[in-house]
Structure 1
Amino acid sequence: MLNETKLDAASERLRRAIQGDRESLETLLPSYIGYLKVLSRTQLDKRIQHRVSPSDLVQETLLEAHRDFAKFQGTTIEEFTGWLRRILVHNLAQAVGTHMLAAKRDVRREQVIENFSGAIDRSHLRLSALLFDRRRTPASEADHQESLTRMANALETLPSDYRQVIVLRHLDGLPFRLVAERMQRTPGAARMLWLRAIEQLRLTMAINS
């Protein structure tokens, strides 16, 4: 677990940003790069990845969050994280509307937004499950949120096959049989890769804590 100073850091930056400290906002937003990129990877259609990348979506999301921060109505890190997810959902829907849907203003676009919103929230919950601690109480939710962003940032530093197996297994929620098919490995090899990836993720988080 993070120590008390780190536990309060993100919440303090958010509090100061709400009070008008732009420097605090500019420090807070980059800490979400890995988190938003991980979520983007789970939802960005492979048919348009040559036109728009997870990095593009994250950059646009953070730019919009910086520009529109005055519209944020919450006060907690959990609410801020949810607000960033909603911006990401709209950017994902915009990418699909631009590159895949002929009519951007029809019912299909509304359905795309609804589907993305549900899928992103499920991925968030699955990512959170990697940090699940039975001793965690509501009072430590801010700590959990900050640990979540640290873990996502660590995940982004892993070798691509390690990152992919964790995303497929945990964020997409696939059984090892389907993970193996996606990665063109045997189920046994996929499981061993997953074990090594999880260990490397834990080690990376420990080094960066």
Structure 2
Amino acid sequence: MTMLSGIHYKIGSRNVKGDTRVNSRNRSSHKPSISPTLRATETFPAKLRNKGCQEINKLNEEQVWLEQAREGDKEAFGKIIQAYQSPVYNLAYRMLNNSGEAEEAAQEAFIRAYTRLDSYNPNHKFSTWLLSITSNYCIDQIRKRRAILLSIDEPLAPHPALMSDRRKGPEAKTLEGEQQDMVQTLLQELPADYRQAVVLRYWHELSYEEIAEMMDTTVSAIKSRLFRARKQLAEVGMAMNLNPSYENAVAS
């Protein structure tokens, strides 16, 4: 993927050395008692505790990178690029249906994000802000087109619900491949604003509120667009395949 022009970085090139030795004089032979609160936390599954800690560490690390980038540290923003280049590119590809244009869109999105860091509100998720920049740029590109060309050589990255299970036989995988082709064709036939809402909701699983903020409209308008998009897709029997597993009700 094309890197952000003018930003060069090496991940892990900086070695931080510190003295991790413990002074034996400061050690205490007394074993501290474990409080009931601490003991209660030990009852939670280790995987859940570790996942929560990882999410917190990731957010803290991200905020450090953003602060450094605001101060002009391009290496710090390079780490932001590495962390988000896949979701940004995937969103652009699903919107534009062309790998070359998606790469250009992703690069432009990162450039715009870098030059607009001062306008980013830390109270909001950075990923939502970045995807908003990406999707809005893609919408502008779509509006400039007179026709949308479908590429038979570059299939749409499949929705998670349509991903093939390795344990499934060749017939099932073939059927799912056909479904993925149908999804790509259907998405390209949706109006640009419908497609944007569908991709953000069902691929990136953003909330109605987040999508409304990104598209500068109301929650009811987003629900209406999704309902109409699903109605259009339902005409060819695809509505159920596009629904996320956790959502059973039709948006109203």
TM-score past 0.5 threshold: no
Structure with more helix by fraction:
1
Q: TM-score, normalized by length of structure 1? A: 0.44
Q: TM-score, normalized by length of structure 2? A: 0.37
Task: Indicate the structure (1 or 2) with the bigger Cα radius of gyration.
Answer: 2
